[in-house]
């Protein structure tokens, strides 16, 4: 499994992962142009559940007693919070998975990019991530 996959599974699969339900707009039946009306079908609503990433991370921090980890901005602390190996080797692998183009040397630039990209990818995979964690 990929490093990002492990991060996503640790957050989305957390037992207390709060979700927010969003209902998709209900499609309206098209009106017939003839004297005969088209048979109406019952409207269907699609429900999508989003995992609130920030709440899950806060809950994990409480459970582990690690409130001092700076997981909101540090990829190293985020990985530690999730019980993952945060070594440079794993961060290099994560950088390659996510398409980082710079030097994979563990620089602040790489680590900041990794954290923001992980948050963007969590949002792209159905997570609710506040803007301050992706910008």
- φ/ψ (deg, to 5) at 32: -80, 145
pLDDT grade, residue 132 (50/70/90)? Answer: confident
Q: CA-CA distance, 109 to 117, in Å (whole number)?
A: 12
Nearest to 8 by CA among 40, 51, 37: 51
For residue 7, give Cα distances in angstroms to 1, 2, 24: 10, 9, 28
pLDDT grade, residue 17 (50/70/90)? Answer: low
Nearest to 100 by CA among 88, 90, 113, 89: 113
In a domain, 67, yes or no: yes
Over the stretch 26-72, which tens digit does the pLDDT of each residue have? 444 444 444 454 445 444 444 446 899 999 999 999 998 866 899 99
Residue 16: per-residue pLDDT = 60
Q: Are 48 and 24 in contact (CB under 8 A)?
A: yes
In a domain, 30, yes or no: no
- φ/ψ (deg, to 5) at 47: -115, 130
In a domain, 15, yes or no: yes
Give the domain range for residue 71: 3-21+49-130
Number of separate domains in the chain = 1
In a domain, 42, yes or no: no
- φ/ψ (deg, to 5) at 30: -75, 140
Residue 122: per-residue pLDDT = 96
């Amino acid at each position: 499994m990929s490093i990002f996959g492990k991060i996503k599974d640790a957050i989305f699969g957390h037992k207390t992962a709060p979700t927010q339900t969003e209902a998709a707009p209900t499609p309206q039946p098209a009106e017939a142009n003839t004297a005969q009306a088209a048979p109406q079908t019952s409207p269907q609503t699609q429900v999508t559940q989003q995992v609130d990433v920030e709440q899950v991370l806060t809950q994990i921090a409480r459970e582990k007693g690690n409130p001092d980890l700076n997981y909101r901005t540090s990829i190293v602390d985020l990985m530690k919070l999730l019980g993952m190996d945060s070594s440079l080797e794993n961060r290099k692998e994560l950088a390659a998975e996510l398409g980082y183009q710079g030097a994979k040397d563990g620089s602040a630039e790489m680590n900041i990019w990794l954290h923001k990209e992980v948050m963007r990818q969590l949002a792209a995979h159905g997570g609710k991530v506040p803007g301050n964690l992706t910008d």
